[in-house]
Structure 1
Amino acid sequence: MKFKEKIIERVRDTVIRNQMIDPGDRIVVAVSGGPDSVCLLDIFSKLREEFHIELIVAHLNHGLRGKDSDQDERFVKNLSRKMGIVCHTKKIELYRIRNKRSIEEAARDERYTFLFDVLRDTNAKKIATAHHMDDQAETFFINLLRGSGPKGLSGIPERSDDGKIIRPLLGLRRYEILKYLKDLNLPYRVDESNFDKRYLRNAIRHELMPMLLKIQPQIIEHIHTLSKILKEEDRFLDELISSKMSFSSHEKDKKITVSINEILTLPEALKARAIRILIGRISTLKRLTHIHIENIVRMLHSPNPQKEIHLPDGMVAKKRYNELILEKKKAEHSPPSFIYHIPEDGIYHIKEASCMLKFEVSKIDPPLKLKDEDKYTAFISEDKARYPLIVRNFRKGDKFRPLGLEGTKKIKDLFIDLKIPKEQRYLIPLVIHKNKIIWVCGIRISEEFKITDNTEKILKITFSKT
């Protein structure tokens, strides 16, 4: 069997073994014009009748290399035309739209955004990219240097979890791809930026890998094997943990809440993995390192009932007493401040706290049955708390004398004792008379304003959420 036929057979085996393609699939092939993508397109063009598939070429011109980038685009269009394949192209100015992202990261993000746009617009089923075994080894070392755990070291999968991205060349080495192109006399473009060692991947490719290959010529194949083993073990452990955990998830709000005890009762080796799984449900794990995860585990063990850790990509992990909350960081806002004047009986809507307060004065004649067990209703001695009153939220330094206690207590300490999360404290209304707190709504009235034997009128305040 000729070398060309061996290569095609290996790609065919990768596709079948990983169930990458179904008969009738329309596949978007990502073609940059470089050797890897030209090889992928040529092999798929030879296999399309056998697999009963339709091919669509997609090329994104990043605009990074001026005329060279434009020549890459023309090359891909001509190549597609010769093969009789429809070609979709788009040109962008990556430097202008990169924001705070690195060039490598921005290029990858924009490329996949474009590929998925083509997938949607053409009603295609899969996206095929030309990643190969050397890319896998380079990704292994990139993630190792970033401090990744087993999931990061498992590298590039043959297919994405949803099956929409396939990588048929992962079983081939770079030198095999170049030999395939040379034997068939297939032209390709060379991107000079791939030799710029300021980029981490290029530094690994041109400096680290040659040194390692001298020491162990099979190191790339060994890493490929290790990555496959790690993938299988990683999948099994993820499924095992997911079956043991229950949590509330608010995908729309990018928020997950889980009992801290559920995580801490897991074996030590699985705690970090459980946290990664939870974060992965609402955010990317690309910049998340093992150090970040260790810090979260340390926070869960901390005696401090309320702490938080800021993570990459706008994520924050919050410890709120017995719960771990993982969510996308919201824009920084000052605590909401509100104040309402209560001149007389009536119903007052406190919009900032999404609640309603009803005030009504009545005589104790005949004696009323005061429902002390109802925390949403307060009965106050009216002769001590006459209108006008004020309703406002918590301020630092607030204190009062809780019913049944001798001395005063800070409102903050009351909230801490009741394990009320920080975010909720400023949403609890306080009823005030002449700078003295009458009632912390829904929680406790003041000893100073309680009903006594001498009380003639009562002020009934009802608190309800809207």
Structure 2
Amino acid sequence: KAVGKKLSLPHGFTCELGYNEFVMTRVPFGIASTAEQHQLPSICPFPPLPGEFYLKVPGRTVLPGWEVIASIFREQVTSLPMQDTLSPGKRIWQSNLVADFELHKTGIELFVRQRRPGDKFQPLGMNVPKKLQDFMVDTKIPRSWRDHIPIVCSPQQIIWVVGWRIDDRVKPTEASKEILRLEFIKSE
């Protein structure tokens, strides 16, 4: 299957093969260059997130297209599932915009950014780090979405690929004394 394969059609139409979909778009008249085409609105449900943004922990942070709520719990809370299996018809990113972490492992100096070449993290359930690019391909994140997905980081590492998976090294355990909960809310 040639995922990501594009076909240019007459009258400015383009067809692209995704993992589970076939997307047809039309480039507006007068936009010829590839660079101009990449600046067009995407069908990605994630708003663009240019730059790096520090989070107020605890507190509320407003980012372009997002509001992030950071809460700290000092008692044991029911941990949220961070898995790739959902009810039929529901996408992972729609249900995994909230995640729990062990606070002493993440710290409070957190920031959000886009992915960068060479990024690595250790997905929940894995014993070794993995390239972020490989994780995105393996979990079938559409290519057009990958630069839009918020990546939450501490100064040491990526702690969360928002909508998909937290880093295994920052997961809360039954022995956790303080839990950090981050919630991403799409804003209009």
Calculate the TM-score normalised by the size of structure 2: 0.75
- The 5 Å alignment of 1:144-293 reads none
Match of 1:346 among 59, 81, 84: 59
Partner of residue 15, structure 2: 317
1:362 aligns with 2:69: no
Give the partner amino acid of 2:52: I
Partner of residue 326, structure 1: 24
Q: CA deviation at 1:332?
A: 3.0
Secondary structure in 2 matching 1:306: coil
Partner of residue 431, structure 1: 152
Partner of residue 412, structure 1: 133
Secondary structure in 2 matching 1:332: helix
Q: Is the 8 A contact 1:337 1:426 kept in 2?
A: no
Give the partner amino acid of 1:390: F
Secondary structure in 2 matching 1:325: strand
Segment of structure 1 superposing worse, 333-342 or 390-399: 333-342
The size of the alignment, in residue pairs, is 160
- The 5 Å alignment of 1:300-311 reads 303-311=1-9
- The 5 Å alignment of 1:375-414 reads 375-414=96-135
Give the partner amino acid of 1:315: F
Q: CA deviation at 1:412?
A: 1.7
Segment of structure 1 superposing worse, 309-318 or 434-443: 309-318
Q: Could you report, residue by residue, the CA deviation over 1:182-224 in whole angstroms, capped at 9, with x for unpaired residues? A: xxxxxxxxxxxxxxxxxxxxxxxxxxxxxxxxxxxxxxxxxxx
d(CA) in 1 for partners of 2:67, 2:132: 21
Q: Could you report, residue by residue, the CA deviation over 1:237-266 in whole angstroms, capped at 9, with x for unpaired residues? A: xxxxxxxxxxxxxxxxxxxxxxxxxxxxxx
Q: Could you report, residue by residue, the CA deviation over 1:438-461 in whole angstroms, capped at 9, with x for unpaired residues? A: 111121010111113442111111
Q: Could you report, residue by residue, the CA deviation over 1:82-112 in whole angstroms, capped at 9, with x for unpaired residues? A: xxxxxxxxxxxxxxxxxxxxxxxxxxxxxxx
d(CA) in 1 for partners of 2:49, 2:111: 16
Q: Is the 8 A contact 2:49 2:150 kept in 1?
A: no
Partner of residue 92, structure 2: none
Partner of residue 176, structure 2: 455
d(CA) in 2 for partners of 1:442, 1:327: 25
- The 5 Å alignment of 1:89-128 reads none
Partner of residue 85, structure 2: none
Secondary structure in 2 matching 1:463: strand
d(CA) in 1 for partners of 2:63, 2:175: 32
Partner of residue 139, structure 1: none
Secondary structure in 1 matching 2:141: coil
Q: Could you report, residue by residue, the CA deviation over 1:302-336 in whole angstroms, capped at 9, with x for unpaired residues? A: x2222112233322111112322221126334686
RMSD: 2.1
Unaligned runs of 5+ residues in structure 2 are 29-35, 40-47, 83-94
Q: Could you report, residue by residue, the CA deviation over 1:370-409 in whole angstroms, capped at 9, with x for unpaired residues? A: 2326622211111111122111111222110011111112
Q: CA deviation at 1:435?
A: 4.0
d(CA) in 1 for partners of 2:24, 2:160: 33
d(CA) in 2 for partners of 1:317, 1:372: 35
d(CA) in 2 for partners of 1:318, 1:421: 11
Q: Is the 8 A contact 2:55 2:112 kept in 1?
A: yes
Instruction: Call closer, same or farther: CA 1:369–1:464 in 2, change over 3 Å.
Output: same
Partner of residue 166, structure 2: 445
The higher radius of gyration belongs to 1
Unaligned runs of 5+ residues in structure 1 are 1-302
d(CA) in 1 for partners of 2:175, 2:112: 26
Match of 2:143 among 411, 415, 422: 422
Q: Write 1 or 2 for the structure with the bigger share of helix.
A: 1
